[in-house]
Amino acid sequence: MQKRTIYKSVREVILLLAVAILSISFYSCSQKSEKSSLVVKKKYSIYVLGKDGKEYIVETNSLDSGKILPEKQGVLLNSKTMDRDIIVKNGSYYHLNRKKAELSKYNVQDDSLHTVASISLKDFSIENYLWVGKDSLLLTGLDVKNFSQTKFVLIETGKMSLLNSDNLAIPQPSGKFTSMSIGFAELRKNHLFIGYTYHQKLGSSNYTTSDTTYIAELDYPQMNLLKIDKDTRSTYPGGINTVQSYSFNDENNNFYFMTCPGIALGNRPDLPTGIFRIKAGEERLDKDYFINISSSLVNNHAYGMWYLGNNKAIIRSERKDLFKGLSDHYSTAHFEFYLVDLSAAKILKKLNLPLDKGTRRECVIVKDGLAYIAVNSSTEGNFVWIYNPTTETLNKGLELAGNTDFIMRIDKLNI
Amino acid sequence: MNINQDLIERYHRDECTKEERKEVEDWLFAEDFAEELDLPISESKAEHKASMWNEIAPTPAKEYINKSHSFLFWRGAIAASIVLGLIGFGFYQFTLKTKNDSPQFVSIDNTSAINVRHLDSKGYNISVGPNTFAKINYATDSVDLSGSMLISPKKDVELIFKGNNKKISLKMGQTYIILNGKTNEDNFIVVSERNLMDLPPVLQKQIINQFSI
């Protein structure tokens, strides 16, 4: 009789436990669904490389103040499939997975990165992207074996469908030259300008670049080669703009691009870093316009350029006295930011920021006349600084703390 | 039945059938030979008899000794083998462990112009690029490299590179790209794979293709 009562109470306890477990799981499920229904379009995204090599994307509405710990507020990325050579637009991220030869569109949902759609992109290494319409993405690139055949793909990004793709008739490297780079693509009505140059391999870890900047002009959308313009005032026009920006249009559609012959890009340090222009309405380089950055007060090579508005730009330059070579170029804090007056074709001043780390970074956003500049300082931490060109003041904004080693890029996500 | 040397030997080895045994014994202990051996005319019967006895006489004794010898020998050998085997296995285990814990050096000469060679030791995962010679001395943590390699240490280490004596700190679990050219024109470069994008794109592309990363 006593035994039976014990059995009964044990059975009751088990039943109670089962009910408790079920209710907890229901509760957590309802919590999750509640969370996923809250789809908030954040304004900015920040790409962070952690101290332990982990990478995160953090979405936020403000860069003006506060502190973010990427390991808590960010989305942990799969570093095998994701990298910081991304295109960010209208809440989505686009990235080419080299191994799968697939360009995917991602969204952040429920604290993780979801693949929305993908498109096969075989034998294509992205050199430059250009939005030619709201949902039309033009990618210029090279073959993945020799990096010598220029090609393009035009993608409709809503469903990630292929609109057009072909090789381009830009001459392949010949003679001593073994590969090439495309540094910018710019569309003017029915004319596409593609800036490029050629490289020569010198050893297993050394190369150099032709002394010439080439600009091919093609008709669009037919993509026939019309003519090639050359300039030897500097070389290595632009760079891979999925990693960093090197060109822009001003309010009047004057197109500016930077050339980067320094060791981090062209490896022709004997030539100066410069800024070129194609005037609005014209179809060739402005031969009377050139800003020699290396011989200016910068006195160094620079990589990266962003338009601030009102004919002003921000450039990011290295300090050759502070790094030893390519091995410490990215890890040593040696980068400075300068303000450039494009109409006067001169360098105005150095921005009073801490020395920055990272060879190539998409680190400047301009919004409402203010420049948000992400700086990785060895001594002052990782901050987004706010430069106000009207008052010429600099203030510390959002801090990236915790596991943050490098702020690799900041992008406008939904603006 | 013919009594021959083979049969007699088999008799002494105790391999005869009952009939054969009886036959041999009858023949051996017979007062007289029932059968006469047919010999060629030129050969003497006495000589053959003598040589036959000479051949078979020591055989039983020899065979017996051999048998017991081989038995003893095998028993001992098996026992010894087991003991030696156990010692050997233990020693092998021990050396294997020491080798993995602190191997003296690893040397790879990849003469292929295209292929990458992979190596997984207890201390590092290494991929050696085409036309590359790499030698890692684990005792001194020094590296002699000519070419390109990817290295992923399984614990935090500091490596010293021969030629320029540069000391490089590598963190556990991260993969590093190391380039050291053969000519003076070449650069010496060490970067984490996560910072691949910081290398010049021309070198990036070369590394991506070489190591399929």
**A179 close to B (CB below 8 A):** yes
Residue B56: predicted pLDDT: 62
Q: Is pLDDT above 90 for B69?
A: no
Both tokens of B28, joined, read 């051996």
Backbone angles phi, psi at A351, to 5 degrees: -80, 140
Q: Which residue has the higher pLDDT, A111 or B55?
A: A111
Confidence of residue B146 (pLDDT cuts 50, 70, 90): confident
Q: Is pLDDT above 50 for B61?
A: no
Nearest by CB: B188 against A145, A179, A327: A327
Q: In what order do the strands lie in the sheet with A393-400?
A: A67-68, A393-400, A381-388, A370-377, A364-367
**Average pLDDT of span B180-200:** 81
Closest approach of chain A CAs to the CA of B188, in angstroms?
Answer: 7
Within 8 A of B195 by CB-CB distance, chain A residues are 49, 330-331, 359
Whether residue A202 and residue B186 make contact (CB cut-off 8 A), yes or no, is: yes
Closest approach of chain A CAs to the CA of B170, in angstroms?
Answer: 12
Q: Is pLDDT above 50 for B63?
A: no
Q: Are B176 and B194 in contact (CB under 8 A)?
A: no
Whether residue B200 and residue A265 make contact (CB cut-off 8 A), yes or no, is: yes
How far is Cα A61 from Cα A408, in angstroms, rounded to an integer?
18
Coil, helix or strand at residue A405: strand
Whether residue A205 and residue B203 make contact (CB cut-off 8 A), yes or no, is: yes
Closest approach of chain B CAs to the CA of A364, in angstroms?
Answer: 17
Mutate to test the interface with B, among A147, A177, A199, A205 (most CBs of B within 10 A): A205
Closest approach of chain B CAs to the CA of A263, in angstroms?
Answer: 8
Whether residue B190 and residue A49 make contact (CB cut-off 8 A), yes or no, is: no
Tell me: the pLDDT tens digits for A130-153? 999 999 999 999 999 999 999 999
Whether residue B203 and residue A327 make contact (CB cut-off 8 A), yes or no, is: no
Single pTM value for the model: 0.76
**A206 close to B (CB below 8 A):** yes
Closest approach of chain A CAs to the CA of B137, in angstroms?
Answer: 22
How far is Cα B47 from Cα B53, in angstroms, rounded to an integer?
10
Return the beta strands (E) in A3-111 as ranges: 44-50, 55-60, 67-68, 75-76, 86-89, 92-97, 102-109
Residue B100: predicted pLDDT: 42
Whether residue A53 and residue B173 make contact (CB cut-off 8 A), yes or no, is: yes
Residue B34: predicted pLDDT: 47
Confidence of residue B66 (pLDDT cuts 50, 70, 90): very low
Tell me: the pLDDT tens digits for A208-226? 999 999 999 999 999 999 9
Nearest CA in chain A to B190: A327
Q: Are A47 and A84 in contact (CB under 8 A)?
A: yes
Residues in a beta bridge with B180: B147, B188
Whether residue A325 and residue B188 make contact (CB cut-off 8 A), yes or no, is: yes
Whether residue B194 and residue A267 make contact (CB cut-off 8 A), yes or no, is: no
Residue A313: predicted pLDDT: 98
Whether residue B200 and residue A264 make contact (CB cut-off 8 A), yes or no, is: yes
**Average pLDDT of span B179-189:** 74
Tell me: the pLDDT tens digits for A354-384? 999 999 999 999 999 999 999 999 999 999 9
Q: Which residue has the higher pLDDT, A48 or B131?
A: A48
Nearest CA in chain B to A261: B200
Q: What is the pLDDT along chain A (415 residues), one digit of tens a residue?
A: 455 555 666 666 665 655 555 555 445 444 444 444 456 799 999 999 999 889 999 999 999 999 999 999 999 999 889 999 999 999 999 999 999 999 999 999 988 999 999 999 999 999 999 999 999 999 999 999 999 999 999 999 999 999 999 999 999 999 999 999 999 999 998 999 999 999 999 887 889 999 999 999 999 999 999 999 999 999 999 999 999 999 999 999 999 999 999 999 999 999 999 999 999 999 999 999 999 999 999 999 999 999 999 999 999 999 999 999 888 899 999 999 999 999 999 999 999 999 999 999 999 999 999 999 999 999 999 999 999 999 999 999 999 999 999 999 999 999 8
- Mean residue pLDDT of chain B comes to 74
Both tokens of A391, joined, read 């008052």
- Is the peptide bond preceding residue B58 cis, with omega within 30 degrees of 0? no
Q: Which residue has the higher pLDDT, A366 or B106?
A: A366
Whether residue A331 and residue B195 make contact (CB cut-off 8 A), yes or no, is: yes
Closest approach of chain A CAs to the CA of B198, in angstroms?
Answer: 5
Whether residue A202 and residue B198 make contact (CB cut-off 8 A), yes or no, is: no
Report the percentage of chain B scoring pLDDT > 90: 4
Closest approach of chain A CAs to the CA of B168, in angstroms?
Answer: 10
Within 8 A of B153 by CB-CB distance, chain A residues are none
Q: What ipTM was predicted for this assembly?
A: 0.84
Confidence of residue B121 (pLDDT cuts 50, 70, 90): confident
Q: How far is CA A406 from CA A53, A361, B23, in A?
A: 10, 9, 100
**A252 close to B (CB below 8 A):** no
**DSSP result, A154-217:** EEETTTTEEEEEEE--PPPP-TT--EEEEEEEEEETTEEEEEEEEEEEEETTEEEE-S-EEEEE
DSSP state, B145?
Answer: E
Residue B41: predicted pLDDT: 63
